[in-house]
Structure 1
Amino acid sequence: MRIAVIDGQGGGIGKHIVEQLRKRIPELEILALGTNALATGAMLRAGATEGASGESAIFYNVERVDLIVGSAAIIMVYGLLGEITPTMASAISDSNADKLLLPIQRGNIQFVGVPRTPLPHLIEALVLEVEQRFKAN
């Protein structure tokens, strides 16, 4: 199974996702896709198998993975404080890969019916879901 972890800004959320995935599923192939080199670098240092940065890298690679993970902002135009371009959001949304997205509620977007949960708990739930899918393959 090949998984893409997508993040931007400083890559903090992606870094934590990669760390937890690497601990639980060492043999998982993790592709770090950052909106910028700083985010990609943070995910690579956390244990991603390989990484790439920018709009073109995200556009190209989202069709070459089995699963995409990140915050819900990665499918929102101008998400992550404007780092998600329309091309990125469209490519991620249109990808045939399954998507597991964290419902991080920032700015003027709220997910109705989804309780505010601390980030570590959200990441733990995401990692458990990936682990179940990995074992099923």
Structure 2
Amino acid sequence: MKIAIVDGQGGGIGKYIVEKIRKEFPEQLEILALGTNALATSLMLKAGANEGASGENAIIFNIDKVDIIIGTVAIVAPNSMMGELTPRMAEAIAESRADKLLIPLNKIGIDIIGVKEEPLPHLVEELVKKIKIKEG
């Protein structure tokens, strides 16, 4: 199974997600780090992603080549991440046929009703459980 993790700005969230997934699935999953910038991609690669690419074209080109897309809810919101995530990136991610596992961190003014606020480590644990279910 191939997973894309999309992150931007400092790349800390993507790095954390890659570390946790790599720990749970040492060899089974291929992780593609897609950063809105080179710093985010670099951190995800250092955390254990198999491959990485940066920028709008790289995200648009690669997003349909994966089974699962992971990131915060911001990855489907145009101009999020202080403008780093372009409308074309958000559209490509949202329209991809890949399953999307989105972490509901509210840094972009989108509240998802019915979702309780949890710290990032708890949310990533839930993410890992979902991947285990999808992997079968």
Q: TM-score range by the shorter chain?
A: over 0.9
Q: Runs of at least 4 residues of structure 1 off by over 4 A?
A: none
The answer to whether residue 46 in structure 2 is matched with residue 50 in structure 1 is no
State the match for 2:20 in structure 1: 20
State the match for 1:34 in structure 2: 35
Superposed CA deviations along residues 59-102 of structure 1, whole A, max 9, x for unmatched, are: 00011001000000000001112111010000000101010000
State the match for 2:109 in structure 1: 108
| Contact kept in structure 2, 1:24 and 1:131, CA below 8 Å | no
State the match for 2:8 in structure 1: 8
Give secondary structure in 2 for the equivalent of 1:62.
Answer: helix
State the match for 1:64 in structure 2: 65
Normalised TM-score (structure 1): 0.96
Counterpart code for 2:15: K
Q: How many residues align?
A: 135
| Contact kept in structure 1, 2:35 and 2:54, CA below 8 Å | yes
Q: Which runs of 5+ in 2 are unaligned?
A: none
Residue 108 of structure 1: CA displacement? 2.4
Residue 133 of structure 1: CA displacement? 1.3
| Contact kept in structure 2, 1:77 and 1:86, CA below 8 Å | yes
Superposed CA deviations along residues 34-83 of structure 1, whole A, max 9, x for unmatched, are: 00000000000000000000000000001100100000000000111211
How high is the sequence identity, in percent, across the aligned residues? 58
Counterpart code for 1:10: G
Q: Which runs of 5+ in 1 are unaligned?
A: none
| Contact kept in structure 2, 1:8 and 1:80, CA below 8 Å | yes
RMSD in angstroms over aligned alpha carbons? Answer: 0.8
